Amino acid sequence: MLDNLKEFASEFFVTGDPLILGAQVSIALTMIAIVIVLTYFKKWRWLWTEWLTTVDHKKIGIMYIIASLLMLFRGGVDALLMRTQLAMPELNFLEAEHYNQIFTTHGVIMILFMAMPLMFGLFNIIVPLQIGARDVAYPFLNSMSFWLFFWGAMLFNMSFVIGGSPDAGWLAYPPLSELSHSPGVGQNFYIWGIQISGIGSLATGINFIVTILKMRAPGMRLMKMPMFSWSVLSSCISIIFAFPILTVTLFLLFLDRFLGAHFFTLDGGGNPMMYINLIWMWGHPEVYIVVLPAFGIFSEVVAAFSRKKLFGYASMVFAMIAISVAAFFTWAHHFFTMGSGANVNAFFAVTTMIIAIPTGVKVFNWLFTMFRGKIQFTTPMMWAIAFIPCFVVGGMTGVLLSVAPADFQFHNSYFLIAHFHQVLIGGVVFGYFAGLYYWWPKMFGFKLNEHLGKWAFWFWNIGFYVCFMPQYLLGLMGMTRRINVYDFDMGWQPLNVVSTIGAFLMGIAFLFQVWQIAHSIKFHKKDTTGDSWGVGRTLEWSIPSPAPVYNFATIPVADERDWWWEEKERREQGIQPKAIPLEPIHMPKNSAIPFIKSLCWFTAGFGFVFNWLWIAIPGLIGVAICMLVRSFQYDTDYYIQVDEIKRTEAALRGAN
């Protein structure tokens, strides 16, 4: 009996690696610590009613951001481990198997569990405030999306300590990801973790499209809408068409693994290349999904801190929508070397080059916005300015990669690694940081310490170039991606050392940010104006920070592009806004169902990972019960009465 148990445990838990043992111990300790703290301060009820069951878009946004920063930490540690292994030739720090797992989890976590949720966090907090809405269109679904993402991410991350991590690359190409080559449970964690969170992403896409189309303040025509909201709309358009492709592709892979189907197997008429073709139909739009909102953020930040209207509003809108549609016509540039023939390659090379044009338009728009502006070098603005050269270089190396014949040389080399990190870090991460710093006071009512922020900024930027510029050269010298050892005589060592140093500089930068947040929480100055930077142009800056539950006591008629800016000028000239009478506000009630139902999905996913139907089936039944219960709930909303609004507003506004 005891022996059986021991044997089971030794297979169930990942054992034998000191790094992982350390992680297991620290995870266990952290969990115990959290439980103790919550119990000691009697915070369980608070956690449940204020956070876990909330449907308030602002709180959901904050939870997204916290989760994504934790994931940034995990993905970053993965990156540093890999860079450490690569610093010297023939190092034995990570074995091949372990290295494979780490680049796989790093890639998946950074894109799906760091970039996406950070993006959704900003969507959630800002979009309703920016368009004058009191919540998103479907608050319950919104909470569902968050918890599906959360439990999906937890399932994926669990593989690290239980059962073993996936190791077939971040896109899990078959045949490597098929049962024949990856018989373990790691690949199942991959499928279920991504599937569960993927449903959440799709729902978020729908939610924000409806919110933006249906819930704008009176007078706000689409062409008067702030640019960030436009970028969200374009990103969500891509989401609702791209994510179903991912779901179906992974589902087919699941059928192969679980029921012995032959969609992508080597035998039985399957074709692994079909998977590669399908997954990139999601994969390419995905990169635009994450970068478009960053473009939106830059547009807001650049205009605000240049104290000027955004240059070329209409062309910007056009460029974003064009990108979100054109993104669906370039996918084959990810596998020029697969041998689809010259015509296919030529076609996709040209579409790829064409999509660079609207991106170029935007860069000029930002430059012209800054031109002759009164620029203030605050941290959000610095991130925006640093983004431009970084993204331009990254974009140009992308155009180099799109030259199909040349790609036979670059493909799967460190040249590619350098290229996509340059656009992902220089575009996406810098963009979200700009947004995070810019809107932080809107979320929490105080600014982050600028001094520490500048340290973090410089470490990130210098670290970035030191890390990734040498990789372009390494790629040209023939170093391929996904290798964990190389020989002395390749001559790659000097550049690899430099690159690793750069990676650690970025690690230090992250520590500065943690310090910055901790410091600012302790020593901040409370913002009483609501327009913390003093340069706000759009609706979100017209209400107190943090915004009350209902966001807007009365919804303004926002019929100008930079409504709040114009309104401030009017008020300066002594024109007071027309008072709109208060009315009771209709709000959604909290619900525990999203949390519970996602937990049931997690349970079902866990069961499927280990092929334990006795866990999977109860999990699915739980999901069904949650749906049923929700269908019969009618009491899902309430009204906030006028005197309560008056009291809240007086407390928030009276403070200044």
Contact residues toward Cu ion (CB under 5 A) are 284
Q: Does 107 bind ligand HEM (CB under 6 A)?
A: yes
The long-range contacts involving 600-606, CB below 8 angstroms and separated by at least 24 positions, are: 600/626, 601/148, 601/151, 601/152, 601/196, 602/151, 602/152, 602/154, 602/155, 602/196, 605/151, 605/152, 605/155, 605/192, 605/193, 605/195, 605/196, 606/155, 606/158, 606/192
How is residue 180 written in tokens?
């024949």
**SS in 3 state form for 339-401?**
CCCHHHHHHHHHHHHHHHHHHHHHHHHHHHHHCCCCCCCCHHHHHHHHHHHHHHHHHHHHHHH
Q: Does 339 bind another protein (CB under 8 A)?
A: yes
Q: Does 251 bind another protein (CB under 8 A)?
A: no
User: Per-residue contact track with ligand HEM, 314 to 333, x per CB under 6 A?
Assistant: --------------------
**Residue 547 dihedral angles phi and psi, to the nearest 5°:** -70, 145
Q: Does 110 bind ligand HEM (CB under 6 A)?
A: yes
What is the distance between the alpha carbons of residues 385 and 379, in angstroms, rounded to a whole number?
10
Other Cβ atoms less than 10 A from the Cβ of 367: the count is: 12
Q: How far is CA 320 from CA 99, 232, 324, 475, 597, in A?
A: 38, 10, 6, 32, 35
Q: Does 625 bind another protein (CB under 8 A)?
A: no
Q: Does 111 bind ligand HEM (CB under 6 A)?
A: yes
What is the distance between the alpha carbons of residues 373 and 364, in angstroms, rounded to a whole number?
15
Q: Which of residues 447-486 bind ligand HEM (CB under 6 A)?
A: 467, 481-482
| Sole window of 17-25, 328-336, 497-505, 573-581 interacting with another protein (rule: CB under 8 A) | 328-336
55, 65, 69, 82: which one contacts ligand HEM (CB under 6 A)? 82
| Sole window of 42-50, 384-392, 421-429, 441-449 interacting with ligand HEM (rule: CB under 6 A) | 421-429
Report the candidate in 588, 611, 605 with the shortest Cα–Cα distance to residue 198. 605
63, 137, 199, 452: which one contacts another protein (CB under 8 A)? 137
Contact between 394 and 427 (Cβ < 8 Å): yes
Q: Does 83 bind ligand HEM (CB under 6 A)?
A: yes
C-beta of 55 vs 82, nearer to ligand HEM: 82
User: Per-residue contact track with another protein, 538 to 567, x per CB under 8 A?
Assistant: ------------x-----------------
Give alpha helix (H) positions in 524-641.
Answer: 563-572, 593-609, 613-631
| Sole window of 127-135, 514-522, 525-533, 645-653 interacting with another protein (rule: CB under 8 A) | 127-135
* Total interface residues for ligand HEM by CB under 6 A: 24
Beta bridge partners of 13: 162
Q: Does 215 bind another protein (CB under 8 A)?
A: yes
Q: Which of residues 256-295 bind another protein (CB under 8 A)?
A: 269, 271, 273-274, 277-278, 281
Report the candidate in 126, 534, 535, 130 with the shortest Cα–Cα distance to residue 304. 535
C-beta of 277 vs 480, nearer to ligand HEM: 480
83 binds, among Cu ion, ligand HEM, another protein, none (CB under 5 to 8 A by kind): ligand HEM
588 binds, among ligand HEM, Cu ion, another protein, none (CB under 5 to 8 A by kind): another protein
Cis before 546 (ω within 30): yes
Q: Does 279 bind ligand HEM (CB under 6 A)?
A: no
Query: Measured between alpha carbons, how far apart are the two ends of the chain, in Å?
Result: 69
DSSP one-letter code for 166: -
User: Per-residue contact track with ligand HEM, 143 to 182, x per CB under 6 A?
Assistant: --------------------------xx------------
Other Cβ atoms less than 10 A from the Cβ of 573: the count is: 6
79, 104, 135, 298: which one contacts another protein (CB under 8 A)? 135
Q: Which residues contact 640 (CB under 8 A, 6 or more apart)?
A: 549, 550, 584, 585, 587
C-beta of 294 vs 640, nearer to ligand HEM: 294
Q: Does 250 bind ligand HEM (CB under 6 A)?
A: no
C-beta of 251 vs 329, nearer to Cu ion: 329
Contact between 480 and 412 (Cβ < 8 Å): yes
> Which secondary-structure segment (H or E) carries 416?
helix 414-423
Q: Does 217 bind ligand HEM (CB under 6 A)?
A: no
505 binds, among another protein, ligand HEM, Cu ion, none (CB under 5 to 8 A by kind): none
Q: Which residue is nearest to ligand HEM (CB)?
A: 107
Binding site for another protein (CB under 8 A): 133-139, 213-215, 237, 240-241, 245, 269, 271, 273-274, 277-278, 281, 325, 328-329, 331-332, 338-341, 344, 550, 585-588, 637
Binding site for ligand HEM (CB under 6 A): 76, 79, 82-83, 103-104, 106-107, 110-111, 115, 169-170, 417, 421, 424-425, 428-429, 467, 481-482, 503, 506
